[in-house]
């Protein structure tokens, strides 16, 4: 065989191998393409990676709405996780219980102030019930359709963001006290929803810069009777580094408020100016209040 024939044969072999390589390359897929094709052929394969099953989006239980209330007030969701931030263990326990009642056993991560868990499915499900840290309109309508559910949602708002304010106030000739309930929020849209829920259980409130306030004595009394605060939940916020009732139980303070109303009624019925008639200073007033609170809370 001549040299030219050998060269020609080599060229043909090279061309054949090159064409086969090019053909095989055009048939190769990227990893993403391969995964998509595998999922298409085996639709149940990807479900092994879902940590927590989420029921039909049409199923909205009362417990799921309570989860939303805790997330809206002091929680968060992102693309892959959800959590609740507070310093009180009782509220963290409630959050964990509600989550597991709705979604089943969950592995939580906890530090000093935050309880969180990872789940894209659950985070997405929770987010669909909210609209910029407020209840979506269908969820709010569901809440307002039930007086009992309205009270339960308001109790969460009271426990997480609420305060029973009892503070000394200067009056002509002496000191007295001022009582009010504040459900704090800088979210005006959520404050409006809270006011609607309060109205739903017959409580008149006012929306201000700090949130929703209940100030009239009959309305405060009705709030305590209809909504109230959970046992064991304490005052944890300070203003300018100070708080008259820091560390005291909110439920005990609400009982103190009712006790003050009772004592004032008795004093005025007997012809006196009130039960703080002898208080000339703020310290005098606080001495009375601390003594009465101690009696209500069992000597705390």
Average pLDDT estimate for 92-115:
93
Average pLDDT estimate for 248-268:
96
DSSP calls for the chain: --HHHHHHHHHHHHHHHHHHHHHHHHH---HHHHHHHHHHH-TTGGGGG-SS----TT---HHHHHHHHHHHHHEEE-SSEEEEE-S-HHHHHHHHHHHHHHH-S---EE-SSEEEEE-HHHHHHHHTTBSSSSB-HHHHHHHHT-HHHHHHHHHHHHHHHEEEEEEEEEETTEEEEEEEEEEE-S-HHHHHHHHHHHHHTT---EEETTEEEE-SHHHHHHHHHHT---TT-B----BTTB-TTTT-BHHHHHHHHHHHHHHHHHHHHTT-S-TTTT--SHHHHHHHHHHHHHHHTT--
Of the pLDDT bands very low, low, confident and very high (cuts 50, 70, 90), residue 8 is low
pLDDT number for residue 236: 87
The mean predicted confidence, pLDDT, of the chain is 86
Average pLDDT estimate for 238-245:
74
Side-chain half-sphere exposure of 281, counting CA atoms within 13 A: 3
Of the pLDDT bands very low, low, confident and very high (cuts 50, 70, 90), residue 20 is low
d(CA 175, CA 179): 13
pLDDT at 47 exceeding the cut of 50? no
pLDDT number for residue 54: 53
**Alpha-carbon separation of residue 135 from 100, 140, 141 (angstroms):** 21, 6, 9
- CATH number assigned to the domain with residue range 143-296, chosen from the 4 options 3.40.50.280, 3.10.28.10, 2.40.50.140, 3.90.1150.10: 3.10.28.10
- The most confident of the ranges 2-6, 25-29, 141-145, 245-249 is 141-145
Q: What is the pLDDT of residues 150-192, one digit of tens each?
A: 999 999 999 999 999 999 999 888 999 999 999 999 999 999 9
pLDDT at 272 exceeding the cut of 50? yes
Are domains 62-130 and 143-296 of this chain identical in fold?
Answer: yes
Residue whose structure tokens are 């050998």: 6
Task: Locate 112 and state its tokens.
Answer: 């000093």
Of the pLDDT bands very low, low, confident and very high (cuts 50, 70, 90), residue 40 is low
CA 137 vs. chain centroid, Å, equals 17
pLDDT number for residue 5: 58
pLDDT number for residue 229: 97
pLDDT at 52 exceeding the cut of 60? no
Q: What is the CATH number of domain 62-130?
A: 3.10.28.10
pLDDT at 31 exceeding the cut of 70? no
- The most confident of the ranges 139-143, 273-277, 296-300 is 139-143
pLDDT at 95 exceeding the cut of 60? yes
Q: What is the pLDDT of residues 191-226, one digit of tens each?
A: 999 999 999 999 999 999 999 999 999 999 999 999
Where are the domains positioned within the chain?
62-130, 143-296
Using an 8 Å Cβ cutoff, are 80 and 117 in contact? no
Average pLDDT estimate for 235-263:
89
pLDDT number for residue 50: 44
pLDDT at 253 exceeding the cut of 60? yes
Task: Locate 257 and state its tokens.
Answer: 């408020």
pLDDT at 143 exceeding the cut of 90? yes
Average pLDDT estimate for 102-115:
91
């Amino acid at each position: 065989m001549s040299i030219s024939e050998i060269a020609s044969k080599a060229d043909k072999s090279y061309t054949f191998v090159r064409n086969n390589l090019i053909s095989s390359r055009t048939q190769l897929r990227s990893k993403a393409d391969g995964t998509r094709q595998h999922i298409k052929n085996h639709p149940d394969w990807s479900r092994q990676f879902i940590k927590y099953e989420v029921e039909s989006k049409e199923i909205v239980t009362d417990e799921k709405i309570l989860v939303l209330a805790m997330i809206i007030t002091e929680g968060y969701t992102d693309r892959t996780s959800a959590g609740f931030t507070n310093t009180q263990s009782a509220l963290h326990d409630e959050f964990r219980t509600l989550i597991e009642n709705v979604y089943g056993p969950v592995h939580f991560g906890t530090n000093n102030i935050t309880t969180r868990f990872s789940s894209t499915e659950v985070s997405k499900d929770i987010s669909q019930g909210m609209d910029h840290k407020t209840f979506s309109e269908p969820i709010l309508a569901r809440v307002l359709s039930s007086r009992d559910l309205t009270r339960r949602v308001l109790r969460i708002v009271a426990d997480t963001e609420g305060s029973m304010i009892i503070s000394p106030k200067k009056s002509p000739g002496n000191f007295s006290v001022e009582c009010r309930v504040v459900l704090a929020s800088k979210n005006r849209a959520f404050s409006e929803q809270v006011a609607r829920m309060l109205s739903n259980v017959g409580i008149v409130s006012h929306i201000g810069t700090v949130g929703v306030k209940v100030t009239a004595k009959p309305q405060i009394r009705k709030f305590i009777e209809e909504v109230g605060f959970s046992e064991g939940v304490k005052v944890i916020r300070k203003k300018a580094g100070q708080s008259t009732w820091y560390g005291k139980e909110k439920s005990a303070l609400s009982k103190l408020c009712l006790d003050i109303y009772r004592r004032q009624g008795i004093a005025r019925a007997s012809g006196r100016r009130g039960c703080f008639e002898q208080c000339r200073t703020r310290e005098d007033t606080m001495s009375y209040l601390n003594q009465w609170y101690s009696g209500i809370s069992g000597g705390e």
